[in-house]
Amino acid sequence: MLSKKTQYAFRALTHLVENYNKGPVLISEISKKKKIPLKFLENILLELKKAGILESKKGKGGGYYLKNDPAKTHVANVIRVVDGPISMLPCVSLYFYQRCKNCDEKTCGLHDIMSDVRDATLHILENRTLKDLVE
Amino acid sequence: MLSKKTQYAFRALTHLVENYNKGPVLISEISKKKKIPLKFLENILLELKKAGILESKKGKGGGYYLKNDPAKTHVANVIRVVDGPISMLPCVSLYFYQRCKNCDEKTCGLHDIMSDVRDATLHILENRTLKDLVE
DNA sequence: ATTAAAGTCCACTTTTTTGGTAGGCTATTT
DNA sequence: AAATAGCCTACCAAAAAAGTGGACTTTAAT
């Protein structure tokens, strides 16, 4: 399951997509419109900024906005930034790989199954973008 | 990510598949062979039994064994029993559905994306069985 | 019948993760 | 300089995950 934090992230991003190219949006506005705890949202947006998904502007008239065209940011990327691994096992993760103790990847049946799941999942999540959030 | 508990469950089940039709296997044997904390394993096996995946026998010569042919128990079922939901959002889960607050399923883009992920994932996990764990 | 073997049950502890908050700091605009 | 708005560090509480202890029940062998 995606964490609540990640779900907040998607809700916030949805708002920013809806306001794409309309200038910076206040954290407090997103917080209010999407009912996300303000300070928690601050952290989330900052993370998304550091990951290169958002940009921000300080001072009056400032706020957050999408760095790139909504169709350029993939859903998979957002999940990796906020939630971490997408795979069901560390030993099949592409971005957060960790070899598994007590099992040999060559002969581990579970490994194969979860590789297949990962492929199927990524096939979807890497081909859906922020644009798809609003349709 | 699957919990450690679920990974233990699969390791234990693998051992039971390897010993299918050879009579009950001791918890302590599984614990030793698969390096799973004994008491924790107890809980896991009991859960799997209550879910109808395993059977057990008490007293001397007792132990745990698969209730059905390995090819009859689906990987998806094991995950649901030990880990819970497979879906990425409560609002797209088939067995653990919860409607989402602050979003209308009809118009929520994320909902659609995660439905697709669920379908793709289940297509795999409901067609792989314990037999596939050992190949 | 007794005893030993083995699973069952319940309650607890510890550790880690998640969700959330507080308050001061820094940059920008007017 | 003052006001605005994001940045940063640290912290806290609740929940979930991981693991343990000990008493109880059932079964089988002696």
- Contact call for A110 and B116, based on CB within 8 A: no
**What's at B132, amino acid-wise?**
D
Write down the pLDDT at residue A105: 76
pLDDT of B105:
74
Does residue A104 register a pLDDT over 90?
no
Q: Give the model confidence (pLDDT) of B20-65 as tens digits.
A: 999 999 999 999 999 999 999 999 999 999 999 999 999 999 999 9
Give the Cα separation of A113 and B113 in Å (integer).
22
Average predicted confidence (pLDDT) for chain A: 96
Instruction: Annotate B17-31 with b (16+ C-beta within 10 A) or e (fewer).
Output: bebeeeebbebeebb
Can you give the pLDDT at residue B101?
76
What single-letter DSSP state applies at residue B66? E
CA B34 to chain centre: 17
Residue among A14, A75, A121 minimizing CB distance to B121: A121
Q: What is the mean pLDDT of residues B113-125?
A: 98
pLDDT of residue B120: 98
For residue A29, what are the CA distances in angstroms to A25, A41, A131, B77?
A: 7, 11, 21, 43
Mean pLDDT of A48-58: 97
How many Å apart are B38 CA and D22 C1'? 15
For residues B8 and B45, the answer to whether their CB atoms sit within 8 Å is no
Q: How confident is the model at residue A34 (pLDDT cuts 50, 70, 90)?
A: very high
Q: By a Cβ cutoff of 8 Å, what residues of chain A touch chain B?
A: 1-2, 7, 10-11, 14, 34-35, 75, 84-85, 87-90, 102-103, 107, 109-110, 112-113, 116-117, 120-121, 123-125, 128, 132-135
What DSSP character marks residue B25?
A: B
Q: How many CB atoms lie within 10 A of CB A57?
A: 12
Dist CA A14 CA B1 (whole Å): 25
pLDDT bin (cut points 50, 70, 90) of residue A100 is confident
- State, as a whole number of angstroms, the distance between the CA of A18 and the C1' of D5: 21
- Using the predicted structure, report yes or no on whether residue A72 has a pLDDT greater than 80: yes
Tell me the whole-structure pTM to 2 decimals. Answer: 0.95
B59-98 pLDDT tens trace: 999 999 999 999 999 999 999 999 999 999 999 999 999 9
Supply φ then ψ for residue A13, to 5 degrees: -65, -35
Q: Which of B13, B83, B67, B75 is nearest to B41 (CA)?
A: B13
Quick check: B112 and A121 CB within 8 A? no
Binned at pLDDT 50, 70 and 90, residue A122 comes out as: very high
